Structure 1
Amino acid sequence: MKKLLLTSKLLVAAVLLFAAGSVAAQSLPVQVEASGNTATLRVGAPNLSLADVTLTFDDASGLSPASLGASAQLVDLSDPVLLSRLPELAQLDSALPLLITVEPPATDGLSFNRTVRVEVHTHALTYTAGSSYRLFKAQLGGPFRDITDEIAPGSVRSRGTTDGFSEFLVLADVRASDTVIAQKFDWLRAHVAKLPAEQAAAFSDSIDAAEAAVASGNYANAIAALDTIGAEASAQAGESLSQQWSASGETHNHAGGIMAGAATLKFSIAYLRDYGR
């Protein structure tokens, strides 16, 4: 309880800083630990954690605190450049104006196969059933997109699967579920379209089946089709599908992208099933 109260005081101080007219981002300390296939990032002072980030790799090589290139900052809620990168109706919460960056240095040798599970855990936000909080990701300076595959209590644990890095935000997303799902289908189709035509065809057929099932309200069939896509991508990873992300940028992680795209689509379809449009 004392820890939560101290964290709340830090949050209030941060909000007051921006309310007073600060326009520059404020860097925060980040303590990083890494072992095996897991890395943890504690954002804030050691006894005043604003958020804890856990990265769980399928299969990492060269993972160390330095190889992650992790940083964090409080951002200006009215920054027009940042706001232009967010989808319409997806907004920063004033209780957590936190941008987390994981940008591994090209020379430090980090690579991984398939996917990374990202969890941002914070007591700054309050969990409710049907929460609109989502985990968003962007390339450096690029548009943010929803990669959520789970929102859990404690106070809020936002989780998502990714095939790469680098910037993460927790946003309150009040877009219609139909809109979100359509955009995620478009993203997954675009990713599959990068494959050779014959290989892409089987994935495209399953995407078509999932989309048709959503349109007819058969959410169980839609989720089953996406399970098939994820399982097939996993089975082909390292064989007919490239599966490696590397900090050097010399590899392509097609398997991880398809697996991550299917996972976040399943979340949004289940949300539509449970909470409506």
Structure 2
Amino acid sequence: MRHTFAPSPAPRRGAAWLAWTLTALWLFAASAQAQTLPISVSASGNHAEASITLPGLPGSPLAEVLLDFEDASGLSAYSLGISARAVSLSEADLLARLPDADTTLQSALPVMVTIEPPRYGGLRFNGTGRVELHTHLLPYAAGSRLRLFKAPVGGAFRDITDEIAAGSVRARGTYGGFSQFLILADLRPTGTVIANKIQRLRNRVDLLPLAERAAFDDLLDDVESALAVSDYAAALAATDDVRGRAQTRAGAYIANTWRATRTHRNHAGELAAGAATLRFSIAFLRDYGP
């Protein structure tokens, strides 16, 4: 099913397009807060795509959003509830939701994507999904500090990146639920980021049935012990074991379903997603240092 907010002919590229688009986007974002951007959405089976454009320039996407699910039902453009808006770099309410001053909005892409499925739209999925935010407005470089951040609507943003790839930038992450997404530059020490991700996983483990907690806590202890001696191979293996255990225990022992009604808690999906982004940060520390 396709729900179209703006036509989408083939995109134009090049230096002139980039300069014009950046200028137009800055002016649009600065004109007022909460400026909604045109977006066209298509969805079928376990896959959805959205193209975000500027008003009056439908043929030149600012960004594209790709979503893939392990096991979705009721997926449609309507049930997904996706929107986008231009944000101001001086928007106080938004800046207060970022982790700290070392995580910054990008002037080349001041765009926030919201995925907030309507409660009675019928969407549900088991396990995890994968999100990719793709844009030509940001340059790719090996060791990039660009990251994909996610937040509940109105809540604090956190790093969910599990890959930054070329093309120009493809920021990818795994999720067990939705809400709002930004690409930010993250200059925090990588060790701090890793510690935050481990603590978030521990907080999720504390929500599991008592019989499930010890095994996950032991694996997270293994991650921390390996990192303490810079044994990145062991740290990555233990992180993979966290994800693997979440997936094998899903359903029968650990809740693994997300519903638009918000009546279920997808603990297995959130654990797997948390392990995926932790793996990214450990590998980044190994390859590029703190």
Per the normalisation by structure 2, the TM-score is 0.92
| Structure 2 unaligned regions, length at least 5 | 1-9
Aligned partners of 1:7 and 1:49 also within 8 Å = no
Question: Which AA in structure 2 matches 1:95?
Answer: A
**Does 1:250 find its partner at 2:263?**
yes
Q: CA deviation at 1:197?
A: 2.1
The match for 2:276 is 263
Counting aligned pairs with the same residue, the percent is 52
Question: Which AA in structure 2 matches 1:124?
Answer: L
The match for 2:33 is 24
**Counterpart secondary structure, 2:13:** helix
CA RMSD, 1 decimal: 1.3
Aligned with 1:200 (options 202, 205, 213): 213
Q: 1:259 to 1:28 in 2, by over 3 A?
A: same
Question: Which AA in structure 1 matches 2:84?
Answer: A
Aligned partners of 1:30 and 1:72 also within 8 Å = yes
Question: Which AA in structure 1 matches 2:62?
Answer: L
What number of residue pairs does the alignment pair up? 275
CA distance in 2, matches of 1:51, 1:2: 11
Q: CA deviation at 1:8?
A: 4.3
The match for 1:275 is 288
Aligned partners of 1:61 and 1:112 also within 8 Å = yes
The match for 1:12 is 23
CA distance in 2, matches of 1:217, 1:139: 33
CA distance in 2, matches of 1:38, 1:11: 29
CA distance in 2, matches of 1:132, 1:235: 33
Aligned partners of 1:91 and 1:172 also within 8 Å = yes
Q: CA deviation at 1:245?
A: 0.4
- What is the 5 A alignment of 1:58-137? 58-88=70-100, 89-137=102-150
Question: Which AA in structure 2 matches 1:14?
Answer: L
Question: Which AA in structure 1 matches 2:88?
Answer: D
- What is the 5 A alignment of 1:179-190? 179-190=192-203
**Counterpart secondary structure, 2:273:** helix
Question: Which AA in structure 2 matches 1:82?
Answer: L
**Counterpart secondary structure, 2:42:** strand
| Structure 1 unaligned regions, length at least 5 | none
- What is the 5 A alignment of 1:218-229? 218-229=231-242
Q: 1:144 to 1:2 in 2, by over 3 A?
A: closer
Q: CA deviation at 1:35?
A: 1.0
Query: Structure 1 residue runs of 4+, over 4 Å off?
Result: none
Question: Which AA in structure 1 matches 2:268?
Answer: A
**Which digits, 9 at most, give the CA deviation of each residue in 1:96-139, with x for residues without a partner?**
00000000000111000011100000000000110000000000
- What is the 5 A alignment of 1:137-152? 137-152=150-165
CA distance in 2, matches of 1:84, 1:2: 34
